[in-house]
């Protein structure tokens, strides 16, 4: 069983694969929230379809 702390750290680490989320440059909270939603939709859709899409780390 994975300790709860590791699960939380891993969950927060997944969005960091998107370059835009590596730093928060947005001035409004609703913009940051929208970018996080898009990143999580991308993550979930890739996991459901078992598809690997290139991201900035693959280049």
> Tell me, what's the pLDDT at 57?
60
- Position 14 in a domain: no
- Position 26 in a domain: yes
Residue 27's domain comprises 20-59
Which residue carries 């694969």 as its tokens?
A: 17
What's the pLDDT tens digit per position in 39-53?
788 878 888 887 766
- Position 12 in a domain: no
- Position 7 in a domain: no
- Do residues 30 and 9 make contact, with C-beta atoms less than 8 angstroms apart? no
> Tell me, what's the pLDDT at 22?
62
- Position 35 in a domain: yes
**CA geometry: angle at 47 spanning 28 and 30, to 5°?**
10
Rounded to two decimals, what is the model's pTM?
0.52
- The number of folded domains in the chain is 1
| CA dist., res. 42 & res. 22, Å (int) | 16
- Position 44 in a domain: yes
What's the pLDDT tens digit per position in 1-55?
667 777 677 666 666 666 666 666 667 778 778 877 887 888 788 888 877 666 5
């Amino acid at each position: 069983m994975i300790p709860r702390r590791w699960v939380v750290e891993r969950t927060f680490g997944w969005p960091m694969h998107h370059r835009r989320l590596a730093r928060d440059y947005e001035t409004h909270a609703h913009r940051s929230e929208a970018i996080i939603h898009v990143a999580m939709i991308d993550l979930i859709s890739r996991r459901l379809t078992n598809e690997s899409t290139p991201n900035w780390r693959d280049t």
